[in-house]
Amino acid sequence: MSASPTSLPVAGWRTLGLLNRYHWFVFTVAALGWLADCLDQQLFNLGRVSAVTELLSPHYSDSKELGDAVKNWAGYSTSIFLMGWATGGIAFGILGDRWGRVRTMVLTILLYSLFTGLSALSVGVYDFALYRFLTGLGVGGEFAVGVTLLAETMPAPARPYTLGLLQAFSALGNVTAALLFMLAGSFESKGYFKDLTFLGWPVTPWRVLFLVGTLPALIAVVIRRRLKEPEAWLRQAEDGHRKLGSYREMLGQSPWRRHALAGLALAFSGVVGLWAIGFFSVDLTQYVFKENMVRQHFDIPAEQKLTGEAIEGYLKQAPQLGGDIRFYAGVTSLMIQLGAFCGMFAFSTITGFIGRKIAFAITLLLAAGSTALVFLRFQSVGDIFWMIPIMGFCQLALFGGYAIYFPELFPTRMRSTGVSFCYNVGRFIAAIGPVALAQLTNNVFADYKTVDPVLPFRYAGLTMCGVFGVGLVALFFLPETKGKPLPE
């Protein structure tokens, strides 16, 4: 006797119909926390060049030396931020298993909100880097406890789709940051920030944007009373026979050790690909458009060669061009995130049909190809609207996969620890990525500046695309988890 239509199992995105009001509340809380987290990340990504340029300018009279110092410190501050992210991920991942998911998530939100605001008060690159490290502590901890809370609360059939949707909605935080940056760039080009101060502090676009990053603290205040710990974690906490959040158990026993180390390599591939290459496409657009806008503004013919030093000299004569350049940097970030939303949504869909490992393998190959295309061929404003979304789609789809896959690799007693280990420990190694990009640009490929000032940066980004191969190798050591329950 054939099954009636009503007896067929619910599958795909229709599984979201299984969620009740409390499930949706938990999803909303986790999504807002991660959205705000990504808002902070992207504000830094967009504002780092402006920030370090302003903070370094008093110390350099030569424009070439200033330009090199800015490129170096843009990389250094990113690496320091990633190190804070990794440190916070490890510490708060363990606390998420020992203290509980809810309490830890609230603490991480308060932490990254506070130090994002303090970043706006920086007086030099050293205290700026310190604030970014401290901000990274909260940023790193929030993801692991957020996805763990969601994974343990949602009905099993809906789990991969809600986790994928959580990561997809994180793009809204990045889009918000891009829109704010575009608005600030527009205001700057009209002269609204010229010589503006408040209580003796210079009011510049990047400082204003970092102050906006304090608002997520309101989320923590609102959610604390209504959010409950997942039943799976409560059972483990009450049991008392096994230590929660134990690195000794995770790294000392099979298969958890293999899952942790291979998962770390898989995350390392995507983190370096995004933070040391993909997000630097925003800087690439600024470097490319500097020359384009200078030529257009001063009516310089294409056959006349311009050095990087000459371009900086022209920019000093027309400072309003800086706002226009930053506006298009915001557009670039916006296009990355529009592609990201679609990519994470797509990964969540296809992994339900072809499995986690095949979906990751396809996405890693596409991420390498699309990133190489951007760094080799990006030339004009028009390229922003097709090259950049494709790269964002492919690179950020990986992160949708991490949210789905990592909670499926570990049992409840070490799930937050395991997720944070995979997603964050790799950032210690990944922190060398931005520095490596700067060194390749300023040293290994520096001679190509005589051909084109942007060429060293292009070749550096292309070289680093090989990191996506690390993720492909890691997949051979990981299990397929499609259709399987969470380990207990």
* Preceding peptide of 255 cis, ω within 30°: yes
What pLDDT digit, counting tens, does each position of 299-352 carry? 888 777 777 677 777 777 777 777 777 778 778 888 998 899 999 989 999 998
Give the Cα separation of 164 and 158 in Å (integer): 10
Within a domain: 2? no
Give the Cα separation of 170 and 401 in Å (integer): 13
Within a domain: 426? yes
Within a domain: 216? yes
Give the Cα separation of 88 and 134 in Å (integer): 9
**pTM of the prediction?**
0.79
- Count of structural domains, the chain: 1
Q: Are 426 and 379 in contact (CB under 8 A)?
A: no
CATH number, domain containing residue 65: 1.20.1250.20
pLDDT at 3 over 60: no
Within a domain: 236? yes
Over residues 138-148, the mean pLDDT reads: 85
What pLDDT digit, counting tens, does each position of 54-111 carry? 899 888 877 778 888 888 888 888 889 888 888 888 889 889 898 888 888 888 888 8
Q: Are 481 and 488 in contact (CB under 8 A)?
A: no
Q: Report pLDDT for 241.
A: 57
Within a domain: 321? yes
Closest CA to 89 of 37, 138, 141: 141
Q: Report pLDDT for 362.
A: 97
Q: Report pLDDT for 19.
A: 92
Within a domain: 90? yes
**Structure tokens of 123?**
């007086």
Q: Report pLDDT for 294.
A: 80
| pLDDT band with cut points at 50, 70 and 90 for residue 224 | low
Within a domain: 207? yes
Q: Report pLDDT for 6.
A: 44
Q: Report pLDDT for 1.
A: 39
Give the Cα separation of 448 and 456 in Å (integer): 6
Greater confidence (350 vs 196) lies with 350
R_g of the chain computed on alpha carbons: 23
pLDDT at 263 over 90: yes
Give the Cα separation of 269 and 472 in Å (integer): 9
Over residues 479-484, the mean pLDDT reads: 92
| pLDDT band with cut points at 50, 70 and 90 for residue 199 | low
Give the Cα separation of 71 and 67 in Å (integer): 6
Phi then psi dihedrals of residue 476, to 5 deg: -65, -20
Amino acid at 453: P
Range of the domain at 283: 20-477
Closest CA to 346 of 482, 474, 183, 161: 161
Rank 9-13, 24-28, 328-332, 394-398 by mean pLDDT and report only the highest.
394-398
As a whole number of angstroms, the longest Cα–Cα distance in the chain is: 85
Phi then psi dihedrals of residue 307, to 5 deg: -85, 165
What pLDDT digit, counting tens, does each position of 164-192 carry? 888 887 788 888 888 888 788 778 777 77
Average pLDDT along the chain: 85
| pLDDT band with cut points at 50, 70 and 90 for residue 4 | very low
Q: Report pLDDT for 117.
A: 87
Closest CA to 474 of 304, 314, 287, 271: 271
Q: Report pLDDT for 2.
A: 40
> What is the percent of the chain with per-residue pLDDT over 70, rounded to a whole number?
95
Q: Report pLDDT for 240.
A: 63
Q: Are 154 and 29 in contact (CB under 8 A)?
A: no
Within a domain: 485? no
pLDDT at 468 over 90: yes
